[in-house]
Structure 1
Amino acid sequence: MFSELELVFKVLILACLHASVSPDVQVDALYAMKNALKASAGQLMNWYPNQMSPCSFTNVVCDDNNVVQLSLSSMGFSGFLSPKIGDLKTLRTLSLEGNYIIGNIPKEFGNLTSLTMLNLENNRLSGEIPSSLGDLKNLQFLFLSQNNFKGAIPGSLSNLRYLIELRLGSNGLSGQIPEHLFQVSKYNFTGNYLNCGTNFPQPCVSDSDGSSHKPRIATIVGVIGGVLGLLLLVGLLFLVWKGRRKRYKREAFVDVAGDERIEFGQLKRFAWRELQIATDDFSEKNVLGQGGFGKVYKGVLADNTKIAVKRLIDYESPGGGKAFQCEVEMISVAVHRNLLRLIGFCTTQTERLLVYPFMQNLSVAYRLREIKPGEPALDWPTRKRVALSTARGLEYLHEHCNPKIIHRDVKADNVLLDEDFEAVVGDFGLAKLVDVRKINVTTQVRGTMGHIAPEYLSTGKSSEKTDVFGYGIMLLELVTGQRAIDFSRLEEEDDVLLLDHLLWLSCLFATYRVVNQFTFLVKVKKLERETRLYAIVDQNLNEHYNMIEVEMMIRVALLCTQASPEKRPMMSEVVRMLEGEGLAERWEEWQNVEVTRRQEHERLQGRFNWGEDSTYNQDAVELSGGR
């Protein structure tokens, strides 16, 4: 039976949860959108529901951690539009044209009050155009042509005072056109049953939209002059190119982010056509995965070399060019056998592509959780090699690069496996160069929930110790075969009470998803104390593992995931511990601290009588870090 004090404590917890806990609305809205659109397995692969921020999602552009642009044109979606899109209050551009989307436009679209462009052309949308679109006071471009809309054009569209272009052609609309819409600079109502055209005073298409085809002398002269000017320009460019040809042979560089140049050294400069052929015209069937700013395609060069081509999307948008520059800088600084190497690049006026060697066995996450029937799971010796190889790669980033590099998204998905199952750390899209004179860098919180260190969540400051935390979580992934936030295998009866005691952690952070991560860590600590770690070992190993080695790996993981970043080991220490040197001493030191903490907790428990199960609270406090 709970004491009165505990009852009051729980009421306060619930009040805290009610007042401050809210999931990331943008992530939830985008994930609901992905499901409603029926995205295929190879599409929007990094749109996970457990992300801390949606700003690393493919085809999403952010400004100050708010989603402002969403471009999903011509991706073959056949689902419908989710009403949850209305929660993206900061969205300015929404492009979904060229798909096979069915159903109505949800009335919740009227909540997108920051929207300046809505493009839903060339889909299979039906029903009436919702009057709520008249609430989009900032809308400048509205494109709904080539759908199956019926009924009248809502009069509320007359409220769109900033509208510059309106395209409603090729639908089944009928009735009166609101008079104000004829005052829009460019409009097109053709292919409907509306009161415009030959028998009406107003045309169905504006003059500026191409209805007037009368030849004009000035236009003809302008065209001729333009052609002559173009010929002169081509000749001038040819002379300039010829004069610089030798210098381009000596060095390779590309301009990004203004006037800043990134040197590529001896990397191969691929021709666009070469990569287009290698990837079968960037076919969806060759998509290996999707990162924060682009897709990765499998390809085969003319000499049968297998490659992976990372094609950046919206590189000129906020964040896109920065991601390209960041990844190139990281890889040019970091060259190590356990880091993914860049073998070439391709730049055009509209494209940025990076070329890597093809990793035949894909990612560690794939080999742990997504293997196809008949494919073997990772055996225990391979998992040990992955742990050590990854640690060596991170050690190089942290302690041998100048400036050092923080990866900021260490997880099984970002550790790749070559044909020999040798692990290499990849995906430097969120990486950060760090001045060796500084301890940490203040930044927006990015990464994958379940792998983000508590101090990074609460303060926004990252350091190499945030990578150590993510690495510790990855070790637990190797042992359990599960994602960090998946605690479906916590099957004991007291697990419900455990979660109840840990819910108050949500008050410390901006999302309730963090609870699952800490629940998992507390459970591992509890099983380690009870010498029952076999309960969480991956069943795919079929008991073909060394329990002493499992215990060693979990102990290293627990040392890496301590709440205080100062107490976590450096990656060089982790390498030594995995090689069998220094773990016993470090573990004994940690155990002494744990015993002292537990004794203090028991003293408090006796004073306040919080009940037998409240031992979980002590673990929760330790994991939550300083307050």
Structure 2
Amino acid sequence: MELFLGVLILACMLSFVSADFQGDALFALKNSLHASANQLTDWNPNQVNPCTWSNVMCDPSNNVISVTLSSMNFPGTLSPKIGVLKTLSSLTLKGNGITGEIPKELGNLSSLTSLDLENNRLTGEIPSSLGNLKKLQFLTLSKNNLTGIIPQSISDLPKLINLLLDSNDLSGQVPDHLFRIPIYNFTGNRLSCGENFPHHCVSNGNDSGSLQKPKVGIIVGIVGGFIILLIFGGLLFFLCKGRHKGYKREVFVDVAGEVDRRIAFGQLRRFAWRELQLATDNFSEKNILGQGGFGKVYKGVLSDNTKVAVKRLTDFESPGGDAAFQREVEMISVAVHRNLLRLIGFCTTPTERLLVYPFMQNLSVAYRLRELKPGEPVIDWPTRKRIALGAARGLEYLHEHCNPKIIHRDVKAANVLLDEDFEAVVGDFGLAKLVDVRRTNVTTQVRGTMGHIAPEYLSTGKSSERTDVFGYGIMLLELVTGQRAIDFSRLEEEDDVLLLDHVKKLEREKKLDAIVDRNLHENYNIQEVEAMIQVALLCTQASPEDRPAMSEVVRMLEGEGLAERWEEWQHVEVTRRQEYERLQRRFDWGEDSLYNQDAIELSGGR
């Protein structure tokens, strides 16, 4: 097992080293080509994962497999550093003004199947190192200023089916083996095609090539079909993986209960560690947006000036490694709803797990209730109602429309975020699963925030969707009161440290005005306040079986079925309170008996 983990960690480390050297090699190519200020602007040396760059394709393992830079009028040269891209299968640089020689280092591209440098200003000889490209099928060096002979090593390429060297200044004898290639063109040079093929310097039927027409027609048909298959396969690859930045995939998902609203989302992006380091100023303390049981959240700015929130997980212990984490992340990313925080991407290293989300302009409900800076507006009552309903819909989607269902396990005002329109967006869902799914005993890890945790979760460690319902009820009380779930300052006036107990007491005493957040300055509807408190108390019942499902919560907030459910709850609550008072009288020995040691001892064991 230790050997397996060691190999896995080494593989992960190598994958990140790979991203670094690939990005460095491509950026060196950009510099050597003398790209202008408005060309390849997203080829950023600080963003070392090139799989997000334009004109670059990668495989699912983030290995660069294709670079296409056609007709961009580059005046520079080819960097020899490109020779380190051992996974590159296609390199296309035709139609530019590239000068200088073809680097011999191109012979190191052991996976290359297609090399196209047509219509540039390349000089010097064709490097014999190209004969090392045993997988090469297409070699196009037409319309340059190449000199010297055709290297014998080229004729030894076992898979070459298309060789175009026309319109250069090549000289000498064409190796006989090259005439066996299905498609070739050596015209426009000072080449001798040999005694057996004095005029056959081209295989397309020109210059007395009539004998080759039938063969060429068949071959061209085969090659054409092959190319079509390649193109079709490439399109399928894009649809499945969405790695290429220039090809934006949008999938529209109908959201349950949301008529005529559709949400677009694309492929998850895999970030390099260095990208997120730079985006967050090396995870500077000044960029911390929040902190919780799963880790810290940092504000970040990507190289394209996109603002993001970066969640740095602190507790994952992942024997499944990078692959297991990625599977869980991708599963959670499928949960798409207007009231759920969209996951942009993630980053993994042998020692780090990070999640990247859009930056929410209005931060969290907790911030808007209790952490406002001077001059910032308080969220009004209509907005609070909209937040309550939006959060309920998001949780309903997680519980009842995801397969398998997703349990949040830390529902609170701090985890309900607000976009630019103050629309509620539930965040951090699925994090408990990401952390605990890899533990042998998930019940040993109680996740959440004191004051928001359901009693059965605290006592057994087992959570369900009704655990989330309890946390949601506490969040409703936060919305109404503006107070924290636990507030020790209340000890000075009463015994109710818990917000839930405090609200229950005031509700029984019919002191609703004392419950409402004073920052609202009485700008609220008391009937609507009463209804929200009733929903909150129904959600926070001690027994999980008695709590409503989130779909029922949504209906009650919309005005359907609350009165009946509340009346039923009141009957149960009165019965429970009477039973509690009866038991309290049974064990009440009087005010002084608490200090009467004899009375305690005489009472015996109970």
Larger Rg: 1 or 2? 2
Instruction: Check whether the contact 1:441–1:463 (CA below 8 A) recurs between aligned residues.
Output: no
Corresponding residue for residue 397 of structure 1: 398
Corresponding residue for residue 357 of structure 2: 356
Corresponding residue for residue 536 of structure 2: 557
Q: 1:206-236: per-residue Cα shift (whole Å, max 9, x none)?
A: xxxxxxxxxxxxxxxxxxxxxxxxx9x9676
Q: 1:317-339: per-residue Cα shift (whole Å, max 9, x none)?
A: 67996995586145323111100
Q: Distance in 2 between matches of 1:447 and 1:528?
A: 27
Corresponding residue for residue 287 of structure 2: 286
Matching of residue 527 in structure 1 with residue 497 in structure 2: no
Instruction: Check whether the contact 2:332–2:430 (CA below 8 A) recurs between aligned residues.
Output: no
Q: Distance in 1 between matches of 2:327 and 2:427?
A: 13
Cα distance change of structure 1 residues 609 and 424 upon mapping to structure 2, 3 Å threshold: same
Instruction: Check whether the contact 1:450–1:485 (CA below 8 A) recurs between aligned residues.
Output: yes
Q: Which amino acid aligns with 2:540?
A: T
Q: Distance in 2 between matches of 1:297 and 1:450?
A: 25
Matching of residue 340 in structure 1 with residue 341 in structure 2: yes
Q: Structure 2 matches for 1:295-310, cutoff 5 A?
A: 295-310=296-311
Deviation, structure 1 residue 591: 0.8
Corresponding residue for residue 581 of structure 1: 560
Give the stretch that moved more between structures: 539-548 or 347-356: 347-356
Instruction: Check whether the contact 2:407–2:429 (CA below 8 A) recurs between aligned residues.
Output: no
Deviation, structure 1 residue 533: 2.0
Matched residue SS, 1:299:
strand
Corresponding residue for residue 10 of structure 1: none
Identify the match of residue 550 of structure 2 among 561, 566, 571: 571
Deviation, structure 1 residue 536: 2.5
Cα distance change of structure 1 residues 544 and 570 upon mapping to structure 2, 3 Å threshold: same
**Cα-Cα RMSD:** 3.8
Q: Which amino acid aligns with 1:566?
A: E
Deviation, structure 1 residue 572: 0.5
Identify the match of residue 538 of structure 1 among 517, 522, 528: 517
Q: 1:491-532: per-residue Cα shift (whole Å, max 9, x none)?
A: 65xx24xx6xxxxxxxxxxxxxxxx43xx3233222112210
Q: Structure 2 matches for 1:408-419, cutoff 5 A?
A: 408-419=409-420
Corresponding residue for residue 17 of structure 1: none
Q: Which amino acid aligns with 1:471?
A: Y
Q: Distance in 1 between matches of 2:578 and 2:418?
A: 45
Q: Distance in 2 between matches of 1:489 and 1:454?
A: 21
Q: Distance in 1 between matches of 2:302 and 2:392?
A: 32
Deviation, structure 1 residue 312: 4.5
Cα distance change of structure 1 residues 457 and 354 upon mapping to structure 2, 3 Å threshold: closer
Q: Distance in 1 between matches of 2:242 and 2:110?
A: 17
Instruction: Check whether the contact 1:293–1:320 (CA below 8 A) recurs between aligned residues.
Output: no
Deviation, structure 1 residue 488: 2.6
Matched residue SS, 2:372:
coil
Q: Distance in 2 between matches of 1:424 and 1:323?
A: 26
Q: Which amino acid aligns with 2:447?
A: R
Deviation, structure 1 residue 441: 7.7
Q: Structure 2 matches for 1:15-30, cutoff 5 A?
A: none
Cα distance change of structure 1 residues 242 and 366 upon mapping to structure 2, 3 Å threshold: farther
Cα distance change of structure 1 residues 489 and 551 upon mapping to structure 2, 3 Å threshold: farther
Deviation, structure 1 residue 443: 4.9
Cα distance change of structure 1 residues 323 and 546 upon mapping to structure 2, 3 Å threshold: farther
Q: Which amino acid aligns with 1:406?
A: I
Corresponding residue for residue 366 of structure 2: 365
Corresponding residue for residue 332 of structure 2: 331
Q: Distance in 1 between matches of 2:270 and 2:475?
A: 35
TM-score, normalised by the number of residues in structure 1: 0.49
Q: 1:179-221: per-residue Cα shift (whole Å, max 9, x none)?
A: xxxxxxxxxxxxxxxxxxxxxxxxxxxxxxxxxxxxxxxxxxx
Q: Distance in 2 between matches of 1:571 and 1:478?
A: 17
Instruction: Check whether the contact 1:315–1:324 (CA below 8 A) recurs between aligned residues.
Output: no
Cα distance change of structure 1 residues 280 and 458 upon mapping to structure 2, 3 Å threshold: closer
Matched residue SS, 2:489:
coil
Instruction: Check whether the contact 1:397–1:404 (CA below 8 A) recurs between aligned residues.
Output: yes
Q: Structure 2 matches for 1:506-521, cutoff 5 A?
A: 516-517=497-498, 520-521=499-500
Matched residue SS, 2:366:
helix
Matched residue SS, 2:377:
coil
Cα distance change of structure 1 residues 307 and 240 upon mapping to structure 2, 3 Å threshold: farther
Uncovered stretches (5+) of structure 2, i.e. residues with no partner: 1-80, 89-108, 114-134, 136-232, 244-264, 435-440, 592-606
Corresponding residue for residue 573 of structure 2: 594
Q: Distance in 1 between matches of 2:110 and 2:545?
A: 57
Q: Which has the higher contact order (CA 8 A, sep 6+)?
A: 1
Q: Distance in 1 between matches of 2:568 and 2:315?
A: 50
Q: 1:30-77: per-residue Cα shift (whole Å, max 9, x none)?
A: xxxxxxxxxxxxxxxxxxxxxxxxxxxxxxxxxxxxxxxxxxxxxxxx
Cα distance change of structure 1 residues 242 and 488 upon mapping to structure 2, 3 Å threshold: farther
Q: 1:573-604: per-residue Cα shift (whole Å, max 9, x none)?
A: 11111111111000000111122233444555
Cα distance change of structure 1 residues 602 and 335 upon mapping to structure 2, 3 Å threshold: same
Q: Distance in 1 between matches of 2:307 and 2:111?
A: 32
Q: Which amino acid aligns with 2:332?
A: I
Q: Which amino acid aligns with 1:390?
A: A
TM-score, normalised by the number of residues in structure 2: 0.50
Q: Distance in 2 between matches of 1:431 and 1:240?
A: 44
Instruction: Check whether the contact 1:323–1:429 (CA below 8 A) recurs between aligned residues.
Output: no
Instruction: Check whether the contact 1:251–1:265 (CA below 8 A) recurs between aligned residues.
Output: no
Q: Which amino acid aligns with 1:458?
A: S
Give the stretch that moved more between structures: 585-594 or 535-544: 535-544
Cα distance change of structure 1 residues 320 and 291 upon mapping to structure 2, 3 Å threshold: farther
Cα distance change of structure 1 residues 322 and 488 upon mapping to structure 2, 3 Å threshold: farther
Deviation, structure 1 residue 344: 3.0
Corresponding residue for residue 620 of structure 1: none
Uncovered stretches (5+) of structure 1, i.e. residues with no partner: 1-230, 255-263, 434-439, 500-515, 613-627
Matched residue SS, 1:555:
helix
Q: Distance in 1 between matches of 2:334 and 2:370?
A: 32
Q: 1:339-384: per-residue Cα shift (whole Å, max 9, x none)?
A: 0001234456765543221100111111111111221222111111
Q: Distance in 2 between matches of 1:582 and 1:526?
A: 24
Matching of residue 424 in structure 1 with residue 403 in structure 2: no
Q: Structure 2 matches for 1:177-576, cutoff 5 A?
A: 251-252=240-241, 266-270=267-271, 274-312=275-313, 324-325=325-326, 328-329=329-330, 331-347=332-348, 352-428=353-429, 430-432=431-433, 442-489=443-490, 492=493, 495-496=494-495, 516-517=497-498, 520-576=499-555
Cα distance change of structure 1 residues 325 and 301 upon mapping to structure 2, 3 Å threshold: closer
Q: Distance in 2 between matches of 1:295 and 1:609?
A: 49
Q: Which amino acid aligns with 2:290?
A: G
Q: Distance in 1 between matches of 2:320 and 2:510?
A: 47
Matched residue SS, 1:388:
helix
% identical equivalent positions: 81
Instruction: Check whether the contact 2:242–2:267 (CA below 8 A) recurs between aligned residues.
Output: no
Matched length: 344
Q: Distance in 1 between matches of 2:237 and 2:273?
A: 17
Cα distance change of structure 1 residues 305 and 456 upon mapping to structure 2, 3 Å threshold: same
Q: Which amino acid aligns with 2:377?
A: P
Deviation, structure 1 residue 385: 1.1
Q: Which amino acid aligns with 1:376?
A: P
Q: Distance in 2 between matches of 1:610 and 1:391?
A: 47
Cα distance change of structure 1 residues 523 and 297 upon mapping to structure 2, 3 Å threshold: closer
Instruction: Check whether the contact 1:398–1:464 (CA below 8 A) recurs between aligned residues.
Output: yes
Q: Distance in 1 between matches of 2:314 and 2:580?
A: 53
Q: Distance in 2 between matches of 1:457 and 1:576?
A: 29
Cα distance change of structure 1 residues 287 and 606 upon mapping to structure 2, 3 Å threshold: closer
Matched residue SS, 1:310:
strand
Q: Which amino acid aligns with 1:552?
A: A
